[in-house]
Amino acid sequence: MLDYTRVENLSAADVQRLRAVYEPLTTSVRDLVDATIRTEVDADAVAAATAEIDSATARLRVKQRDRSFGIQFGADGDSMPWGNAVIGVRNPTAPPLVIRRMPDGSVTSDFYLGAAFEGPPGHVHGGVSAMILDHVLGDAASTPGKHRLTGTITVRYRRLTPLGRVRAEARVTRSEGFKTYAIGHLADDEGVTVEAEGVFIEPRWARD
Amino acid sequence: MLDYTRVENLSAADVQRLRAVYEPLTTSVRDLVDATIRTEVDADAVAAATAEIDSATARLRVKQRDRSFGIQFGADGDSMPWGNAVIGVRNPTAPPLVIRRMPDGSVTSDFYLGAAFEGPPGHVHGGVSAMILDHVLGDAASTPGKHRLTGTITVRYRRLTPLGRVRAEARVTRSEGFKTYAIGHLADDEGVTVEAEGVFIEPRWARD
């Protein structure tokens, strides 16, 4: 059984306030990640930057949760999947994706993949494409209060995806009992680059 | 055609020296990423940390390459895939994996996945598992000087993978012309958690 923590006494306004405190920090760390990969400054400058980074880390670790962020909920039911590797607004390694649900039930997201997501030179790592499609198809297959996890996913690479602006789209094709089938793709301005199809399953412990 | 840059006048010793300069910076940023997700300090402490982070970023951006890191090679042929999203020693978002090739041609890697790789509470994001398997199977399917890219990969989730120590293994099952087939899995101390199989292809532009 997974631990979805309800945070007591945290109103919707509190959730927004926390987001306003921590989201700019996360954005700054994302910018630092990019600079860390691309920098060509000399050893002395690197040492000076590293000292500042270690100082910032020490400040943040003065008070911290024991484990990973988890998925927390406010008293009004606001979901805070803020540590999530793909959509987490407090996770500097997440692009992060903002996923919109369309009137027809499909989902879509426009996002930017920079130097941190590279595989072949100048292009998105195939594994990053698979990671994002896993999340977006899973989101399409889930409904409010009923989160479905990936059973099996197949990813087909039609061509390389250049680093830069990318769009993801996904939709459910059919459902059978505990199984929901979804398809989707990544695309750049020229069209589809990677396709995926998967089956998503309601966890046993959530079927009561 | 991909740009694999050969860096002129960069000896094997130079490559090691550059690694010694930039790898500790990357390790510090990885630690900061973890602290950013888990911190519970107040707004004033967050603001102080953010100011130090932005200062470090500015120092690093004084001199930087125009685009992503790419895959650079030293004059002696040393490969530097240092920006890679899975194995890059200069990419703070990479775990990073260190992949060993065994005498039988299979590959294996032991690594740690912390808070930055979370999906379901306390567990590895299914997309992260897919990302890592894509890379490890692709590595098994490649040989020195002949890098094969993913054509199609299927990932099957047997159970959730807890955050913590994880092992990946992969091996080639057969080859047919330009296609190389590989299988692999992720495992924790209790056994296999996620399985994958894929076909890997030598890019057209590299077939001459």
Give residue-wise pLDDT tens across range B180-199. Answer: 999 999 999 999 999 999 99
Judged by CB atoms closer than 8 Å, whether chains meet at A40 and B93 is answered as: no
**What are residue B86's phi and psi, to 5 degrees?**
-110, -40
- Provide the Cα torsion B68, B87, B130, B101; round to 10°: 140
- What pLDDT score was predicted for residue A206? 62
- What pLDDT score was predicted for residue B21? 97
Residue A25: name the closest of A67, A88, A109 by CA.
Answer: A88
- The predicted-structure confidence for A13-38, as pLDDT tens digits, reads as follows 999 999 999 999 999 999 999 999 99
**Is the pLDDT confidence value at A68 over 60?**
yes
For B136, nearest residue in chain A (alpha carbons): A127
CB atoms within 10 A of CB A7: 14
**Domain spanning B96-206: which CATH class is it, in words?**
alpha beta
Q: How far out from the chain centre does Cα B156 lie? A: 21
Distances (CA, A) of A31 to A26, A28, B102, B115: 9, 5, 38, 19
ipTM: 0.96
- The predicted-structure confidence for A159-178, as pLDDT tens digits, reads as follows 999 999 999 999 999 999 99
List chain B residues with CB under 8 Å of A60.
32, 35-36, 39, 41, 45-46, 49
- Provide the Cα torsion B198, B204, B205, B206; round to 10°: 60
Average of per-residue pLDDT across B130-147: 93
- The predicted-structure confidence for B9-66, as pLDDT tens digits, reads as follows 788 899 999 999 999 999 999 999 999 999 999 999 999 999 999 999 999 999 999 9
Q: Which of residues 91-150 of A touch B (CB under 8 A)?
A: 91-93, 114-123, 125-128, 130-135, 138, 149-150
Place of tokens 């004059």: B75
- Contact of A25 with B50, CB cutoff 8 Å: yes
Structure confidence at residue A3 as a pLDDT band (50, 70, 90): low
- The predicted-structure confidence for A69-128, as pLDDT tens digits, reads as follows 988 888 777 788 999 999 999 999 999 999 999 999 999 999 999 999 999 999 999 999
Sign of the torsion formed by the C-alpha atoms of A104, A107, A111 and A117 = negative
Domain ranges of chain A: 1-94, 96-206
- What pLDDT score was predicted for residue A8? 66
